[in-house]
Amino acid sequence: MIIFAPLIPLLAIAIAAPVADDEKCRPTQTTYTTKYDNLPFVEPGPNPIPSPYNGLNYKTFQVDQYDGFIPPTSGNQWTMAFGGSGNISVPDSPPKQIFELDSFSYACVSGVPQPECAISMWGWKESGRLIKRVIKFPRLDPGHPIEDFKMNATKFGGEWRDLKSVGFSIARADNGGDMFGGLALDDVKYTVTQRKC
Ligand X SMILES: *[C@@H]1O[C@H](CO)[C@@H](O)[C@H](O)[C@H]1NC(C)=O
- Residue ranges in contact with ligand X by CB under 6 A: 59-60, 85-87, 124, 138, 140, 148-150, 152, 165, 167
* DSSP category for residue 48: B
Which residue type is seen at 128?
Answer: G
What spatial distance separates the first Cα and last Cα of the chain, rounded to whole Å? Answer: 42
Closer of 148 and 174 to ligand X (Cβ): 148
- 182 pairs with which residues across the strands? 109
Closer residue to ligand X, CB minimum distance, 32 or 124: 124
Cα 19 to the chain's mean position, in Å? 33
Q: Which of 54, 165 has the CB closer to ligand X?
A: 165
DSSP secondary structure letter of residue 76: T
Quote the least distance from Cβ 177 to ligand X, whole Å.
19
According to DSSP, the residues that pair with 167 across neighbouring strands are 87, 122
Question: How far apart are alpha carbons 91 and 97 in whole angstroms?
Answer: 8
Shortest Cβ distance from residue 33 to ligand X (Å)? 18
Check residue 3 and report its DSSP letter: G
Q: Which is nearer to ligand X, 52 or 138 (CB)?
A: 138
Please state the closest distance from residue 12 (CB atom) to ligand X, in A.
Answer: 49
**Containing H/E element for 4?**
none
CB of 74 to ligand X, least distance (A): 14
The least distance separating ligand X from the CB of residue 42, rounded to whole angstroms, comes to: 23
Comparison of 27 and 113: residue with beta carbon closer to ligand X: 113
Instruction: With beta carbons less than 8 A apart as the criterion, state whether 64 and 83 touch.
Output: no
Whole-angstrom Cα distance, residue 40 to residue 149? 25
* Spatial distance between the Cα atoms of 38 and 120, rounded to a whole number of angstroms: 28
Which residue lies nearer to ligand X by CB, 4 or 58? 58
β-bridge pairing 86-89 and 152-155: unpaired
